[in-house]
Amino acid sequence: MILGLIHTVQITLGILNTVCDEIIPEAELIQLLDEGFLRMLQHKPAPMAKARERLLRHIYCLEENEVDVILVVCSSLSSLVDKVKSKVNVPLVKIDEEMIKRAVECDGKIGILASHELAIDTIYLQIEDYARSIGVNPELKVFVEPNTLIAMNEGDIDRLGSVTRQRIEEIQSDVDILVLAQVSLSVAMHGVDIKKYRIPVLTSPQFAVEKCKSIVQGMS
């Protein structure tokens, strides 16, 4: 199995390496990092046509390397994936798609925690779209914690994890389930006993890699 991954921040490289080692240790990983992608999307208005073409260039590069499936790791790119699928010959997986399904199907008030508004906007719309597709209308509550972005930009993983865990503890009485909108926030859950929280706290990497694995197994 050859898995292609598209990243927009360095921190997610290590996170996905760890998750892939746990779930698909036999897989060969080909990883692309484009740190300028988020800067493009933060422009107002965002140049979405250029963003689609930029994503396609990365996908075509991975196709040339004969990957079996491509995981688009950045949640801010998830809205673009459906728009380019028809031009791609390899299965594409959005990092947060499976996590969103689990959250909506839990049937309760969903909290969304993110470092910045762009990540909130992206996942909020995806949750609404999926909920509508299965005929439910969950209540959503958003939380932005800018201190996690500061820690991430400084490369301080320990602080990123501690700030995120502190915010989770503050949030858990307000919602029935919590999704961490960005892969980077998932470091907060490494080695943590999930029973310490009153509510389920969902992170995207494990669900997404398991989806990639199932796709490839279905090909054989």
Q: What is the CATH number of the domain that holds 169?
A: 3.40.50.1860
The predicted pLDDT at position 191 comes to 67
Domain range for 87: 2-95+206-219
Between the alpha carbon of residue 54 and those of residues 2, 8, 60, the distances in Å are 22, 12, 10
Task: Kindly report the pTM of this predicted structure.
Answer: 0.88
Specify the number of domains making up the chain.
2
178 and 213 share one domain: no
211 and 197 share one domain: no
Print pLDDT tens along the chain (220 aa).
999 999 998 888 999 999 999 999 999 999 999 988 878 877 777 687 888 999 999 999 999 999 999 999 988 888 889 889 889 999 999 999 999 999 998 878 999 999 887 778 888 989 999 999 999 999 999 999 888 888 887 878 888 888 888 899 898 899 999 999 989 888 888 766 666 788 899 999 999 999 999 998 877 6
Secondary structure letter of residue 60 according to DSSP: H
For residue 147, the surrounding DSSP H or E stretch is helix 146-153
115 and 192 share one domain: yes
Cβ-based burial of 53 (10 A; exposed 0-12, middle 13-18, buried ≥19): exposed
144 and 213 share one domain: no
